[in-house]
Structure 1
Amino acid sequence: MNTSSDRYDRLTRTFHWLTAAVVIFMFASAHIWENLEKGTPLRKGLQSVHISLGIAMALLIVVRIVWRVFCGNRPKADSHPTLNLLAKIAHGCLYLLLLAQIVLGFLFRWAQGEPFNFFGLFPIPAPFAIDHAWRGTLGGLHNNVAWAIIVLAGLHAAAALWHHSVLGDSTLRRMLPGSRNALQK
């Protein structure tokens, strides 16, 4: 039977899956609007939601990191110490990439010199001037970091499935939603 220390707490699991869903939507939306004609309502709408979710993601990641450092439980790892170290490195890289992506997204938008607001509710003003000439570089970096996040997150998911299917350990089950009783072998 699983105990509460065998799984991540509910808020940690919620943060994990919410982050995954937002990352997937943002990556997909950016690639969808690239194929739409400029100026169309759908393209503008996708961009607007993408930007607003980027702002929400900034808050989510900050709260998630604070929760992880100060409050969230960490189930005991049941893997080889080398695998545990690799997992910690991968998680650290994902957090760093997500933070870099958020910063790059904000800088890119400010370099574009266009309005930047959260679901039309309030603007996010630039705290300093960013040369318009940087927009291409910042946009390219934003795109490259997005791909790095997708690749590393894909490896992260594959590793969880490998733990579950090959090693038969509880790594995947510890992060799945649902009650503890639903996760018994």
Structure 2
Amino acid sequence: MLKINPDRYGVIAQTFHWATAVLVLIAFIYGLGGNEMRVYDAAHDFQRMLHETLGMSVLALVVLRLLWRLLDTRPAPAAAPRWMRLASTAVHGLLYGLLMALPLTAIFGAWLEGHSLTLLAGVNITSPLPLAHALGQSLAEFHTLLGDAIMILAGLHAAAAIYHHLVLRDCVLKAMLPVWFKVWQPKKRWF
């Protein structure tokens, strides 16, 4: 029942994919950016707590998603040139790496700077690490760069899926869309 069609990802894999995409996008939008004084200013508490909650949610989702990948069967890859298959593997690997690195750099950056993680549910996770402010600041800056990188890479990932759908006319995009989501398919190749 979870695997409706062998040419598509199952409901759980699709849910993990789209929930992760939405959470990352919202976390990016609500990311404060800027220096430590700005991020931890009391006027930005709600925005920071929302961003930290979303980041922790992304981390939990990615761990569950990776565990699910060990159990789940994926559809056979679309016929494509070797370079395309290698590019796809590289992009997916980079996306998973960024999905893990983003929350971890934020967590360790905050802790090393001496800040607790404060989640929306009132959960306060204090740092178990000794203060290393300069290292924490470097990790926080790196976190910002990784946030930009994941948005660029996710955009390329989405563009590639649309290219597969509109130009190559294969099932790459449809494989990750729910069955009920009807997507327009061109009648003929555009070029």
Q: TM-score range by the shorter chain?
A: 0.7 to 0.9
TM-score, normalization by structure 1: 0.86
Give the share of equivalent positions with the same residue, in percent. 33
The within-5 A match list for 1:1-185 is 4-31=5-32, 38-40=41-43, 43-68=44-69, 70-82=70-82, 83-179=84-180, 182=182
Residues 109 and 116, structure 1, Cα contact 8 Å, conserved in 2: yes
Could you say what secondary structure the match of 1:173 adopts?
Answer: helix
Q: Which moved more, 1:113-122 or 1:131-140?
A: 113-122
- Detail structure 1 runs of 4+ shifted over 3 Å in the superposition: 31-36, 182-185
**Equivalent AA in structure 1 for residue 157 of structure 2:** H
Q: CA deviation at 1:118?
A: 3.0
Contact 2:165 2:172 in 1 (8 A): yes
AA aligned to 2:118 is N
Contact 1:26–1:50 under 8 Å retained in 2: yes
Unaligned runs of 5+ in 1: none
- In structure 1, give the amino acid aligned to 2:5: S
TM-score w.r.t. length of structure 2: 0.83
CA distance in 2, matches of 1:116, 1:29: 16
In the aligned structure 1, how far is the partner of 2:48 from the partner of 2:154?
23
How many residue pairs end up in the alignment? 178
Where relative contact order (Cα < 8 A, 6+ residues apart) is larger, the structure is 1
- RMSD of equivalent CA atoms: 2.4
